[in-house]
Amino acid sequence: MKAVIMSGGMGTRLRPLTCHLPKPMVPIFNKPNMEYTLELLKEYGIEDIAITLYYLPHRIMDYFGNGEKFNVNIKYYIEDTPLGTGGSVKNAQ
């Protein structure tokens, strides 16, 4: 089984926290919010994960890399313009 994490939003409702940090990287108890998601996916046996990105993609890619340190396989899909939910999933297909 595979999972898609849609992380392309700009997190405007979390400003000023997201001025220089994408929403999935906002820390909760000293680790990025998305890290909890990866841990849960791994716990339920989902190791192949696609992550769609738009806003500050390098911040997420630099932290999670290929997923090796989390024992998962991560593939990134970067959007040049925001594609919305349906477009984002279609792009990762």
pLDDT on residue 87: 60
- Domain region containing 63: 2-92
60-87 tens-digit pLDDT? 999 999 999 999 999 999 887 766 655 6
- Give me the CATH number covering residue 83: 3.90.550.10
Total domains, the chain: 1
Mean pLDDT (whole number) for 25-49: 96
- Annotate 35-74 with b (16+ C-beta within 10 A) or e (fewer): bebbeebeeeeebebbbbbbbbbebbeeebeebeebebeb
The predicted structure's pLDDT at residue 74: 98
Bigger pLDDT: 86 vs 37 = 37
Give the pLDDT of residue 9. 77
What's this model's pTM, rounded to 2 decimal places?
0.87
